[in-house]
Structure 1
Amino acid sequence: MTDSITSVLSQIRAYQSQLGQATGIGGDVARSDAIQGLQGAIQAPGQAGAASGPSFSETLRGAINGVSAAQEKSGALQRAFELGEPGADLARVMVASQQSQVAFRATVEVRNRLVQAYQDVMNMPL
Structure 2
Amino acid sequence: MNLLKGAEMIAIDSGKIAAMVAQMRSAVATVHAPGSQVIEGQAKGGVDFGQVFKAQMDQVNGLHQNAQKLGERFSLGDDSVNLSDVMIASQKSSIAMQTTIQARNKLVTAYHDIMNMQV
Q: Indicate whether the TM-score tops 0.5.
A: yes
- Give per-residue Cα distances to partners, 1:86-111, cap 9 Å, x unaligned: 22110100110011011111101110
Post-superposition offset of 1:123: 0.7
Report how far residue 73 of structure 1 moved. 0.4
Task: Name stretches of at least 5 consecutive residues in structure 1 with no aligned partner.
Answer: 13-32, 41-49
Bigger helix share: 1
CA distance in 2, matches of 1:63, 1:75: 19
How many residues matched? 88
Q: What root-mean-square deviation, in Å, do the aligned CA atoms of Structure 1 and Structure 2 show? A: 2.9
Say which of 31, 38, 49 aligns to 1:37: 31
Deviations 1:44-94 (A, max 9, x none): xxxxxx834541211111001100010000001001111011221101001
Q: Structure 1's 115 and 55: CA in aligned 2 closer, same or farther, altered over 3 A?
A: same
**What is the CA–CA distance in structure 2 between the aligned matches of 1:122 and 1:54, rounded to whole Å?**
23
Q: Secondary structure at the match of 2:69?
A: helix
Matched, 1:94 2:93: no
Shift of 1:35: 7.2
Q: Please identify runs of 4+ aligned residues in structure 1 that moved more than 3 A.
A: none
Greater Cα radius of gyration, structure 1 or 2: 2
Give, in whole Å, the separation in 1 of the partners of 2:94 and 2:111.
26
Separation in 1 of the partners of 2:56 and 2:28? 4
What are the ranges of 5 or more consecutive residues in structure 2 without an aligned counterpart? Answer: 1-15, 35-42
Task: Using CA pairs under 8 Å that are at least 6 residues apart, name the structure with larger relative contact order, 1 or 2.
Answer: 1
- Letter matched to residue 57 of structure 1: G
Tell me which residue corresponds to 2:64.
71
TM-score (norm: length of structure 2): 0.63
